[in-house]
Amino acid sequence: MTEAKLIDGKAAAATLQRRVGDGVAGLIGRGGPTPGLATVLVGADPASQVYVRSKARLAAELGMASFDFRLDEAIAEAELLAVIDELNGDERVHGILVQLPLPAHIDTTQILMAIDPAKDVDGFHPFNVGRLGTVAPRAPLDFPVPCTPLGVSMLLQDTLGKLAGCNAVVIGRSNLVGRPVAQLLLRADCTVTIAHSRTRDLAALGRTADILVVAIGRPELVRGDWIKPGATVIDVGINRVPAADGKTRLVGDVAFDEAVKVAGHVTPVPGGVGPMTVACLMFNTLQEARRASGLKFSAAD
């Protein structure tokens, strides 16, 4: 039996980051603006601090300007809206990232809706969600798309080339991952089924999939016998579980050791989808800066 090939998300993310770094230099070289990413963190959650710091650091490494806003946990919603409003009007800022979750007293939807859709590098603004939901097959994505789903679709395209005609099953229907992944696969001419916690016989459905994307947040729920031999499996899940040595370890939503025996290609966890997410954030920021510049770019740039 041959083992599945690993889809190396770290290597793909490094390649995308190099492309973005070149793109930043190219934009500036043509007289365009230095792409600017503003990160907004409310409160002092340690995990969120790490995420925001790493995003700001990578932006700087790729030649972008980075604007870091650390706001008090108790900030009033009106004050946060005023910060967003200021960033919307700041020409140096092409991407605004508000780190989620926000404290309970703040209405997350109001905040996301306040971000200028042309600076919405997370792709969560209802205007951009609507654009993704109505984009024509194969039409260009000339608006920001959520980062993790974009990373998933890039990994699939790198692995399989054209996706047209593939049966794709997406398990998970969150606005963050499952739904936008499904929209991207539909745009790429896949035949898409979206499954969720009320779906009957997930295992049988899984076995119909040429492409199986799993984003559920349930450690190793998807077993080897849910997978069609030779299928491409993208495991978005990140779950921390107890390890044998009394510590913890990260596992995906797919039982990796079983999947490698059946699938044609599979993403590991960690090192699969995860690294693509932040690289796609940088890509989105560059794309918005390019659009703001009014210069013309080809799809290959």
Provide the annotated active-site residues.
Answer: 55, 99, 122
Out of 238, 261, 293, 297, the only residue in the binding site for ligand NAP (CB under 6 A) is 238
- The rounded distance, in Å, linking the Cα atoms of 15 and 151 is 12
Decide if residue 176 touches ligand NAP (CB under 6 A): yes
CA geometry: angle 262, 15, 17, nearest 5 deg: 125
DSSP 192-209: EEEE-TT-S-HHHHHTT-
Rounded to a whole number of angstroms, the minimum distance from the CB of residue 265 to ligand NAP is 17
> Closer CB to ligand NAP, residue 277 or residue 285?
277
Rounded to a whole number of angstroms, the minimum distance from the CB of residue 61 to ligand NAP is 19
* Residue of closest CB approach to ligand NAP: 174
- The rounded distance, in Å, linking the Cα atoms of 98 and 116 is 12
Q: Are 240 and 248 in contact (CB under 8 A)?
A: yes
Out of 100, 141, 205, 221, the only residue in the binding site for ligand NAP (CB under 6 A) is 221
Q: Are 113 and 85 in contact (CB under 8 A)?
A: no
Which residues does 204 contact at the CB level (< 8 Å), separation at least 6? none
Rounded to a whole number of angstroms, the minimum distance from the CB of residue 151 to ligand NAP is 7
> Closer CB to ligand NAP, residue 36 or residue 206?
206
CA geometry: angle 215, 50, 154, nearest 5 deg: 40
How many other C-beta atoms can be found within 10 angstroms of the C-beta atom of residue 249?
13
Decide if residue 193 touches ligand NAP (CB under 6 A): no
> Closer CB to ligand NAP, residue 178 or residue 268?
178
> Closer CB to ligand NAP, residue 135 or residue 202?
202
In the region spanning residues 130 to 169, those forming contacts with ligand NAP, defined by CB under 6 A, are 148
Give me the sheet containing 36-42, strands edge to edge: 65-71, 36-42, 95-98
Rounded to a whole number of angstroms, the minimum distance from the CB of residue 291 to ligand NAP is 25
Decide if residue 248 touches ligand NAP (CB under 6 A): no
Out of 46, 138, 140, 198, the only residue in the binding site for ligand NAP (CB under 6 A) is 198
Cα dist from 130 to 30, 127, 153, 183, 271, whole Å: 32, 5, 18, 11, 31
Decide if residue 172 touches ligand NAP (CB under 6 A): yes
Cis peptide before 270 (omega within 30 of 0): yes
Out of 102, 145, 168, 171, the only residue in the binding site for ligand NAP (CB under 6 A) is 171
The position carrying tokens 């984009």 is: 135
Decide if residue 114 touches ligand NAP (CB under 6 A): no
> Closer CB to ligand NAP, residue 118 or residue 171?
171
Binding residues (CB under 6 A) for ligand NAP: these are 148, 171-174, 176-178, 196-198, 202, 215-218, 221, 236-239, 273-274, 277
